[in-house]
Chain A
């Protein structure tokens, strides 16, 4: 149990993943589903970036003198997650554009009403 508390970043990330997944499944409104998908992606970025933290060292930006390799945290996970954040933003923008088209054609964005109106 104390392992869960010492690694509190990873525990929080898994709890957020569960919350996002439940939001994606349970709610009927399409916008809430997209919000759930965003929460899931954000929790995975938190998990990855927390892997790069080394306690006692500072952020990897050179201000004045260069402290050598041991003065900074691991910058590789943050650089990788920049790509991930850009991808998540693109997918969210695409999904929101599709939601607007669904609203134009069906007149509603509640999923159970869309499935009833289906056919055609």
Chain B
């Protein structure tokens, strides 16, 4: 047993134990540095795990002294190690960027608790990604829903409390539905480990066809409520708008994605793609994904508040991911996983920049952003990288993911949906480009603005610059990632 096999469990333990040391430490600088160093250590361990997986293949790690089916095991393959690198990398950058902006939004005595909740949230999301036992995934889902409501409500305004209450109740409904799906599966197969359930289901799938459709439907609706699928996304605009800006970045970039990865693992590892293709569930996911793409963009055009517009854009992008999964073929899932990575990079950059802009101009409206490009050029440069990637301009990572979606649509012979893809790209341009144009051009906009007057020092903007560099770099050379994702889904 190689030493690197212990690393996933060690990452979970480091994040959990360090999260509970924060309320005891008095000095705020120590708390911040401690939380960032725990996340960087997890990033280093994730990179070592990925190197081990690419050398030795997928491995199974038993937790404690009992092997499956009596004990819990973690199964780490390509998909889990890539997602673990992405989660810890983006979380480290968001925590770094929150050092400078957290004092304006959260009271002094709650800052230690804020970093505790961040550590708990990332630990539970990594637990959902790693675990091979479906009830263990349910426990981590519950931990992440409480921690995610916590980082919304730590700001203590009127609207925050209402938004967090709505998020908590809808999230509890979603996990109740997931638990009922687990109950149906347990009554049919008698196991809780994903590999053992798959072996039993292959034997009994003709006897219990109705039960399997019901349980897959319950999983889809339950995980859809928690990751903002189209008709049940109504908690998302309020929660992501009123939260502090680094919590919005973490919620929109990371929390929604872990449930989608769990859904992909359930479809591939638990049921097997043959059983799922014999049920009508993926067609329903395709229709809701397409409807979400159009609805999210139309609602974003009608907004006047900057963060609310970016939140509705998140609904549209999650619609893309469900659309890619609903196509049902192999290329569709590859495109969906690639879009998970691209959306995480882009949306976290956009939310952090929006936080900076709102703090410097003291206003949340889009109308007050005229001429902002002259006053904050470096900040708007990162915003341009993020917005152009969302629209799908070549050279940025968004273009690669839309190209993959188009390839998947052509491969699955549902050519009609290319029109939906093109229409939603055009709608994306309608609400992102006016901000850029009003920021830099137009005579009456830039009349009396002073160059770099409201800019923050470059040291403060360094995390966002790293994210923008990653957007451009992966836009130019993304073949390596697509090969890795293809290998990972083929090996599930």
Contacts and interface: CB of A to CB of B under 8 A. Distances in A.
B153 interface: yes
B176 A41 contact: yes
Contact of B146 (A33, A40, A90, A99): A90
A94 B146 contact: yes
A59 to B, nearest CB: 20
B183 A47 contact: yes
Interface residues of A, number: 32
A105 B146 CA distance: 22
A37 B183 contact: no
Given A51-B187, A83-B139, A99-B165, A44 B176 contact: yes
A47 B180 CA distance: 8
Please report whether the interface of chain B is mostly helix, strand, loop or mixed according to DSSP. helix
Interface string B157-179: 01101101100110011001001
Contacts of A118: 159
Interface in B214-243: none
Contacts of B180: 17, 44, 47
Given A51-B187, A105-B158, A94 B168 contact: yes
Given A47-B183, A94-B149, A24 B173 contact: yes
B359 to A, nearest CB: 20
A50 to B, nearest CB: 9
Given A41-B176, A51-B187, A83-B139, A101 B161 contact: yes
Interface string B54-90: 0000000000000000000000000000000000000
Contacts of B187: 51
B75 to A, nearest CB: 20
B158 A95 contact: no
Interface string A1-37: 0000000000000000100010010000010011001
B135 interface: yes
B105 interface: no
Interface residues of B, number: 23
B162 A114 contact: yes
Interface string A32-75: 01100100110010011001000000000000000000000000
A44 B178 CA distance: 10
B169 A37 contact: yes
Nearest to B142: A87
A40 to B, nearest CB: 6
Please report whether the interface of chain A is mostly helix, strand, loop or mixed according to DSSP. helix
Contact of B172 (A51, A91, A102): A91
Nearest to B182: A48
Interface string B119-152: 0000000000000000100010010011001000
A17 B177 CA distance: 10
B186 interface: yes
A101 B180 CA distance: 32
B183 A44 contact: yes
A89 B396 CA distance: 46
B442 to A, nearest CB: 31
Contacts of B153: 98
B192 to A, nearest CB: 8
A101 B159 CA distance: 11
Contacts of A94: 146, 149, 168
B464 to A, nearest CB: 31
A90 B158 CA distance: 23
B168 A80 contact: no
A80 B138 CA distance: 11
A47 B185 CA distance: 12
Contacts of A48: 179, 183, 186
Q: Which of A37, A90, A99, A106 has the most CB of B within 10 A?
A: A37
Contacts of B183: 44, 47-48, 51
Interface string A96-109: 00110110011000
Interface in A77-92: 77, 80, 83-84, 87-88, 90-91
B162 A40 contact: no
B161 A33 contact: no
Nearest to B158: A105
Contacts of B159: 118
A94 B180 CA distance: 23
Interface string B439-471: 000000000000000000000000000000000
A47 B179 CA distance: 10
Contacts of B146: 90-91, 94
A116 interface: no
Q: Which of A24, A30, A84 has the most CB of B within 10 A?
A: A84
29 contacts: A24-B169, A30-B165, A33-B169, A34-B169, A37-B173, A40-B173, A41-B172, A41-B176, A44-B179, A47-B180, A47-B183, A48-B186, A51-B186, A51-B187, A77-B186, A80-B135, A84-B179, A87-B139, A91-B142, A91-B146, A94-B149, A94-B168, A95-B169, A98-B153, A98-B164, A98-B165, A102-B162, A106-B158, A114-B162
Task: Return the 10 tightest CB-CB contacts between A and B, nearest first.
Answer: A87-B142, A48-B183, A105-B158, A51-B187, A98-B165, A101-B161, A44-B179, A91-B172, A44-B176, A44-B180
